[in-house]
Amino acid sequence: MITLDGVRKVYPGPVVALDGIDLSIPAGEIHGIVGQSGAGKSTLIRCLTALEKPSEGHIWVDGQDLSALGPKELRIARRSIGMVFQGGNLLDARTAGQNIAYPLKVAGLDRGHRRERVQELLDLVGLGDRGNSYPSQLSGGQRQRIAIARALAARPAVLLCDEPTSALDTQTTDQILTLIKDVRDQTGVTVVIITHEMSVVRDTCDSVTLLEKGRVVQSGNVGEIVADTASRLGRAIVPPPRVDDPPEGKVLIDVAFTSRPGEPSSSHVLGVIAELGGDVTAGTFETHGANQVARLVIATDPTRAAQTVATLRAQGIDAEERAA
Ligand SMILES: Nc1ncnc2c1ncn2[C@@H]1O[C@H](COP(=O)(O)OP(=O)(O)OP(=O)(O)O)[C@@H](O)[C@H]1O
């Protein structure tokens, strides 16, 4: 559905914003793009909307090579790409309904069909009775719902979301992410979400790409990445639980493991830790597909720390003493 092949983007300077990106996102997936500030996320999304032209390489969206299209063809191709920005970016002087209708007007849909489609979209995002409200009369979450409806108006094959929840509180964030998942389930749209929040990746994305200095560090299925205890991205998506200080006279050991079907279960590992004289101070257990992913912090006597780490590692369990 979305394929990038050797995409480079060099700004004058020169600044290499994208340095040879190869990426494939299947139709109907929700894909997260993460990376630190300056990693190239916004440049990547601007290339996907064809607002920016790659210096090298090709981008296919919905079967079309964007780099091969002329200006007129690009304008048409852009209709199959919906965009949602941080904060919504609605036109303040227009009602919610008029905001949603705008891309339909541009696409040449007649008034009657526009009205029908706008109501359908308002209902889809759960704001069926707010079509006549102006953006200033809506909450941040409601504005973002209208922005999603507007992005979906022309039935795009791809929905690109640039930090869609970073201006929202936790509860509203959850509601917007649930809406994005529902929309994907109902319409089959392929979704790309740029985010700096790993919780968005954990709770919403099927697959994820980590960018660093314009390059792909890791890309793949979220469940598989978090199950790989050696993956830095996996540990960022499911981080170790927070423990500020070890109990008096103890040291802390970070433990990470994945229980796959047919492999030693969490209770087995907890048994090993207990036998070694360790106390579980905090723990996170998450189910990803058929796997259970665990991050534990255990407290133990300093004299036993090295032995505990060695025994756990010998059993294939990731363990590391936390620096004091
Ligand atoms: N128009 C531009 N001209 C020159 N350099 C640019 C331009 N846009 C981005 N850059 C540079 O390209 C690199 C990648 O920037 P980009 O905005 O894509 O990163 P990002 O991962 O989206 O960062 P952030 O999370 O801060 O938005 C940075 O070094 C940035 O300074």
In a domain, 188, yes or no: yes
Query: CATH no. for residue 108?
Result: 3.40.50.300
Domain encompassing residue 211: 2-227
Percentage of the chain beyond pLDDT 90 is 73
- pLDDT at position 243: 87
Closest ligand 1 atom to Cα of 211: 21
- Looking at the structure, do residues 296 and 223 belong to the same domain, yes or no? no
For residue range 208-219, list pLDDT tens digits in order: 999 999 999 999
Give how many domains the chain has, as a whole number. Answer: 2
pLDDT band of 89, cuts 50, 70, 90: confident
Closest ligand 1 atom to Cα of 18: 14
Reported pTM: 0.90
In a domain, 288, yes or no: yes
In a domain, 271, yes or no: yes
Last residue of a domain, one of 178, 194, 227: 227
Closest ligand 1 atom to Cα of 196: 25
Q: Is the CB of 17 under 6 A from ligand 1?
A: yes
Query: CATH no. for residue 270?
Result: 3.30.70.260
Q: Is the CB of 40 under 6 A from ligand 1?
A: yes
| pLDDT higher than 80, residue 263 | no
- pLDDT at position 52: 87
Mean pLDDT of 249-256: 93
- pLDDT at position 294: 93
- Looking at the structure, do residues 67 and 207 belong to the same domain, yes or no? yes
In a domain, 261, yes or no: yes
CA distance 28 to 16: 31
Number of C-beta neighbours around residue 100 at 10 A: 29
- Looking at the structure, do residues 181 and 248 belong to the same domain, yes or no? no
Q: Six-digit token pair at 233? A: 């991205």
- pLDDT at position 70: 85
- Looking at the structure, do residues 19 and 122 belong to the same domain, yes or no? yes
Q: What is the ipTM of this complex?
A: 0.95
- Looking at the structure, do residues 294 and 173 belong to the same domain, yes or no? no
Last residue of a domain, one of 193, 227, 261: 227
Mean pLDDT of 175-181: 94
In a domain, 235, yes or no: no
Give residue 7 CA to ligand 1 midpoint distance, Å. Answer: 15
Sheet of 215-221, strand order: 81-85, 158-162, 190-194, 30-34, 207-212, 215-221
- pLDDT at position 231: 93
For residue range 106-141, list pLDDT tens digits in order: 888 999 999 999 999 999 999 999 999 999 999 999
Backbone angles phi, psi at 268, to 5 degrees: -60, -45
Last residue of a domain, one of 170, 193, 227: 227
Q: Is the CB of 15 under 6 A from ligand 1?
A: yes
Q: Is the CB of 41 under 6 A from ligand 1?
A: yes
* Strands 56-61 and 64-65, bridge-based pairing: antiparallel
Closest ligand 1 atom to Cα of 194: 22
- pLDDT at position 25: 96
pLDDT band of 255, cuts 50, 70, 90: very high
Bridge partner list, 146: none
- pLDDT at position 308: 93
**Cβ(300)–Cβ(278) under 8 Å?**
yes
Q: Side chain identity at 175, as an amino acid letter?
A: Q
CA distance 279 to 159: 46
CA distance 249 to 255: 19
CA atoms lying within 13 Å on the CB side of residue 104: 23
In a domain, 75, yes or no: yes
- Looking at the structure, do residues 279 and 249 belong to the same domain, yes or no? yes
- Looking at the structure, do residues 26 and 80 belong to the same domain, yes or no? yes
Mean pLDDT of 252-257: 93
- Considering only CA atoms, which residue is closest to atom 31 of ligand 1? 38
Give residue 23 CA to ligand 1 midpoint distance, Å. Answer: 19
Give residue 83 CA to ligand 1 midpoint distance, Å. Answer: 19
- Looking at the structure, do residues 253 and 186 belong to the same domain, yes or no? no
- Looking at the structure, do residues 84 and 210 belong to the same domain, yes or no? yes
Give residue 213 CA to ligand 1 midpoint distance, Å. Answer: 10
- Looking at the structure, do residues 244 and 284 belong to the same domain, yes or no? yes
| pLDDT higher than 80, residue 88 | no
- Looking at the structure, do residues 222 and 255 belong to the same domain, yes or no? no
Mutate to test the pocket of ligand 1, among 21, 41, 210, 216 (most ligand atoms within 8 A of CB): 41
Bridge partner list, 295: 256, 284
- Looking at the structure, do residues 272 and 245 belong to the same domain, yes or no? yes
In a domain, 233, yes or no: no
In a domain, 213, yes or no: yes
Question: Which residue bears the tokens 């109501």?
Answer: 119
Give residue 130 CA to ligand 1 midpoint distance, Å. Answer: 37
- Considering only CA atoms, which residue is closest to atom 3 of ligand 1? 11
